[in-house]
Amino acid sequence: MSTPSSTVSPSPLAARALQVIGDSQKRALDPVDRFSEIIFGLIMVLTFTGAMSVAEGGREGVRQMLVTALACNVAWGLVDGVMYLVTSIAARARKALVLRGLQAADPATARAIVRAALPEELAATSDQAAVDRMVARIRSHPEPRRSAGVTVADLRGAAASCLLIVLATFPPTIPFLLVEDPARALRISNAVAVASLFLAGRWLGKATGIRPWLLGLAMVVLGTVLVGITVALGG
C-alpha cells in the first residue's frame, strides 16, 4: 500500500538562503550593493564633519559644510548611478558573448567555456557527462540578443544607487539643523554617524549570514579608520 507523498521542509539555513536570494531578486540592488552605497555616503559626510573646525567656522562654517557635503554626495550619487548603468550593460553584453560563443563552439571548447564559467569547486567536481548536459541545455536556448540596451531594471538600480548615497548624508546632518551649539551638534552628528555605521553593518550581517553584531562593530572600526585616513590625506 502506497503512502501519501510528503513535502520535505528545507532546513532553517536553506530556508534563509532561499529568502535572501528571493529578496535580492525582487530589489534593484542586492544587499552588498545597498550596503556599499550607504557606507560610502556615511563616510563621505563623516569626512566633512571630521575635518570641520567648529571653533573657527561657527554657524556659517556649519552651513557651508552642510551644503558642501550634500552637493558632493549628490554629485557622487549621479556618477555612481551612471557607472551602475555602464557596468550592467557591459555585464549583460559579456554574458551574451559567452553564450553565443558556447553555441558556436565545438564540444571540447564548449566544455572548457562551461567549466571556466562555473565556480572553481563546482567545476572540479563536475564530470564530462554533467558538463555535456549543461552544454546541451544551454544550446537549446535561443541565441541571445546582440543589442545590450538599457533596461528598466538598469534604471531602477541606477536610481537606487544615487538615492542611497544622497539619503545617507541626512542622518549625520540633522543635529546641525536642530542644535544651536555647533560643538554639541558636531558631537551628536558623529555619534549618529557611528550608530548608522553599526546598524548598516548589522543589517548586512543579517542579510549575509555573518554575525550581525560582530559585523556592525567591524564596520564602525573600518569606517572610523577610513575617515581618519581620508582626513589625514586632505580628502
Number of Cβ atoms within 10 Å of the Cβ of 126: 17
Examine residue 20 and state whether it is found in any structural domain, yes or no: no
Examine residue 1 and state whether it is found in any structural domain, yes or no: no
Examine residue 18 and state whether it is found in any structural domain, yes or no: no
Give residue 192's pLDDT: 87
Question: What is the 3-class SS of 13-76, one letter each residue?
Answer: HHHHHHHHHHHHHHCCCCHHHHHHHHHHHHHHHHHHHHHCCHHHHHHHHHHHHHHHHHHHHHHH
Examine residue 77 and state whether it is found in any structural domain, yes or no: yes
- Give the integer Cα–Cα distance in Å for 50 and 198: 18
Give residue 21's pLDDT: 46
Q: Greatest CA separation found in the chain?
A: 88
Looking at residue 235, what DSSP letter applies? -
Instruction: Say if residues 171 and 127 touch (Cβ distance below 8 Å).
Output: no
The residue with cell 544551454 is 138
Give residue 26's pLDDT: 47
Q: Is 101 helix (H, G, I), strand (E, B) or coil?
A: helix
pLDDT tens, position by position, for the chain (235 residues)? 444 444 555 555 445 444 544 554 445 566 677 777 777 778 777 777 766 655 455 667 677 777 777 788 788 888 888 988 888 888 888 888 888 888 888 888 888 888 888 888 887 888 888 888 888 888 887 776 666 678 888 888 888 888 888 888 888 888 888 888 877 887 888 888 888 889 888 888 887 778 889 988 998 888 778 777 766 665 5
Cell of 5: 507523498
Examine residue 116 and state whether it is found in any structural domain, yes or no: yes
- Give the integer Cα–Cα distance in Å for 83 and 211: 31
- Show the domain range for 108: 31-232
Q: For the chain, how many structural domains are there in total?
A: 1
Taken as a whole, the chain contains a residue count of 235
